[in-house]
Amino acid sequence: MNLEPLLIAQLALLGLGTGLLAGLLGVGGGMTMVPFITIILSGRGVGADLAVKMAIATSMATIIFTSASSVRAHHRHGFVRWNLVKGLAPGIVLGGAVASLGVFSTLKGSWLSLIFAIFVSFSATQMFLDRRPAPTRQMPGAGGLVGAGGVIGFLSGLVGAGGGFLSVPFMTWCNVAIHNAVATSAALGFPIALSNVVGYIVSGHGLQGRPPLSLGYIWLPALGVIATCSALTAPLGARAAHKLPVKQLKRVFASILYLLAAYMLFRTLTAA
């Protein structure tokens, strides 16, 4: 599988677009990468089931770099809640390890697509309804944060997303302001990605049918091009996020989630 100019251009455009979304919405760009990387790999002869898994793993790997880039911009604005990052990170690492080292390799690609569609649709609906949380509701204590982090890390590992599709609605439900939730979600993308990537490399080692230049389930050419380009646009998205009104930001976030859920549900039905 050669890195011809057309492939490089496709991956570069994908990186630029997902980097912008990562900074703007705190989703790490992973949920937008998975469908496109799946299409690219399938068009180059990779089996349908393996293409989905490699797309999920590769998109997660790029989040390591995207998160590091976008969180710097959010931190400069003072919106990252580092106390929440510290509370959620241990559970995220544990949940991500369970998903990527065990469950991910045993599930079929169609099941992963269905899980993606269900949880993303739920998150989008919560954002669109814009329900006001009880004024007294707060983030849980230390034990609750570890548990919530475990769920976020586990589900993120199954769908290749940076956790924003769960962590942003969860934090806003607990009366964390949307801009703080988006910025904190961007910071959480790093431990989510790191813990899952280690699992993807180990569980995919020696697997047959992978394209050249693969490390476990991770396709290195896509990782290199997308990570480089997304790091350029993530800070731009982060700066734009602080200028948008709260309601508009929520609707943009939810609309993108609905589109992504519909595509992955389509893949599930056509694969059945």
Angle CA 190–114–226, to nearest 5? 35
Question: What's this model's pTM, rounded to 2 decimal places?
Answer: 0.78
| DSSP 8-state code for residue 102 | I
Q: Which of 122-139 are b and which e, b meaning 16 or more Cβ less than 10 Å from the residue's Cβ?
A: ebbebbeeeeeeeeeeeb
Q: What is the pLDDT along the chain (272 residues), one digit of tens a residue?
A: 556 888 899 899 998 888 787 667 655 566 678 888 988 998 888 888 888 899 989 988 988 877 777 788 778 888 899 999 999 999 999 998 898 888 888 888 778 778 777 877 876 786 677 666 566 678 889 999 999 999 989 988 887 776 676 788 788 888 888 888 888 988 888 888 888 899 999 988 888 889 888 999 999 999 999 988 887 887 787 777 777 775 677 677 778 778 877 877 776 777 65
**What separation in angstroms does the CA of 267 have from each of 32, 34, 67?**
15, 12, 28
Rounded CA-CA distance 205/215 in Å is 7
SS3 at position 219: strand
Task: Say how many C-beta atoms besides its own lie within 10 A of residue 175's C-beta.
Answer: 15
